[in-house]
Amino acid sequence: MEPAEDRRPLKSRSLGWVQAFARLLVRARVKPNTISAVGIVFAAAAFGVLWWYHHGGLPAWAALVLAALCVQARLMCNMMDGLVAVEGGLKSKGGDLFNEIPDRIEDSMFLVGAGYACGNTTVGWLCALLAVFTAYVRAFGASLGQGQDFGGPCAKPHRMFLLTVGLIAQAVVLLCKQAWPVLEWALWLIAALTAITAVLRIGRMYQKSR
């Protein structure tokens, strides 16, 4: 779950249907930590279908679309755990751990799985490493009392948007019987922009510490 302070700015939190869904979860007494854990389930499912597709067990378009849906479901879990915890008043012990650790696992599963799907595990692992590193930089800045730096250009929501677009676009390309490696291109773009994000966060951290 996300703590009340230093939360990632998300305009979607204020949407009516999002607020209504959060209230429903609160009334059902669903724990924020449970919601966080469900996000890992979606990430594991995406990794599973992409790995299965890589080994010839699933039609390409089906695996790619299912993985894209899992990405969005994961983001919904990430948003709902904070809403239920903070607005719903259901914060619990270990909330910060359940906010951060599942995110790192989920990022890695999605990005490495996409690497398998596009046939380039190197770029998948590179994206995962850079995603964890940018999160480390953010957390380290917070440990110095500088607050959480959620700045982009490729923070978690941006990475997952690009990954979703890459997955869907690759499914369309394959259905059109083309051979363009769109998903691999998306992963290289994610890697480059995530590296830039880490450098910019370090730069801002340095400026604040001077």
Which domain CATH number covers 93?
1.20.120.1760
pLDDT at residue 99, rounded to an integer: 77
Query: CA-CA distance, 53 to 1, in Å (whole number)?
Result: 32
Tell me whether residue 200 is exposed, middle or buried, using C-beta atoms within 10 angstroms of its C-beta: 0 to 12, 13 to 18, 19 or more: middle
Residue 197 lies in a domain: yes
Specify the pLDDT at position 134.
Answer: 97
pLDDT in tens, 97-118: 877 899 999 999 999 999 999 9
Q: Using CA atoms, how far apart are residues 127 and 125, in angstroms rounded to an integer?
A: 5
Q: What is the pLDDT of residue 4?
A: 39
Note the pLDDT of residue 82.
83
Count of domains observed in the chain: 1
pLDDT for 5: 46
Length of the chain: 210
Q: How far apart are CA 119 and CA 179, in angstroms?
A: 13
Residue 140 lies in a domain: yes
pLDDT, tens only, 148-186? 899 989 999 999 999 999 999 999 999 999 999 999 999
Q: In this predicted structure, what is the pLDDT of residue 17?
A: 80
Q: In the prediction, which pLDDT does 161 show?
A: 97
- For tokens 């994961």, name the residue: 74
Indicate whether 3 belongs to any domain: no
The verdict on residue 59 lying in a domain is yes
Residues of the chain with pLDDT under 50: 1-5
> What does pTM read for this prediction?
0.91
- Give the alpha-carbon dihedral of 73, 77, 78, 83, to 10 degrees: 140
Question: Which of 72, 74, 76, 60 is CA-nearest to residue 183?
Answer: 60
In a domain, 95, yes or no: yes
Is residue 33 in some structural domain?
yes
**4 within a domain of the structure (yes/no):** no
Q: What are the backbone dihedrals phi and psi of residue 53, each rounded to the nearest 5 degrees, phi first?
A: -60, -40
> Could you tell me which of 201, 171, 202 has the C-alpha nearest to residue 186?
171
Q: Is residue 2 part of a domain?
A: no
Domain ranges, residue 200: 11-209
